[in-house]
Copies of this chain bind each other. A is one copy, B any other.
Amino acid sequence: MSDIISDFNAHRQRMNERILDTDNIVIKRFFNLDTNVYQDGALDKRTKEMMGLVASMVLRCDDCIRYHVQECHRSGIGREEFEEIFGVALVVGGSIIIPHLRRAVEFLDALSS
């Protein structure tokens, strides 16, 4: 597995565990909601992950983008679909998103190799 993938996932898991090692009820419940919201419901997980990816792109958060690119990839979303998601994000969010798109494609290429 590529370094940019394993490094990202290792840091994410380690620090999430560190954050959740707390008695703070707001933080625990928020992380819980963040898991629940992408589960199958009236809309399926696959659609929600695509929405999570678009939201992360227009808000320009690289780690959030990496996470949802990975989840979309696991849900079987293919290259053409990814490119249409990127297109929506680019038109809605503008050229300011391009550097994040470069890193998203780099991460997706690593996942696909």
Residues in chain A within 8 A of chain B (CB atoms) = 11-12, 15-16, 18-19, 22, 24-27, 29-31, 33-34, 36-38, 41-43, 47-48, 50-52, 54-56, 58-64, 78, 80-81, 83-99, 101-103, 105-106, 109
Contacts and interface: CB of A to CB of B under 8 A. Distances in A.
| Copies of this chain assembled into the complex | 6
Nearest to A29: B33
Given A31-B98, A52-B92, A93-B93, 15 more contacts: A16-B98, A16-B102, A24-B83, A27-B86, A29-B29, A37-B91, A43-B50, A48-B84, A55-B58, A55-B88, A55-B92, A55-B93, A58-B59, A59-B59, A64-B99
Contacts of A12: 99, 102
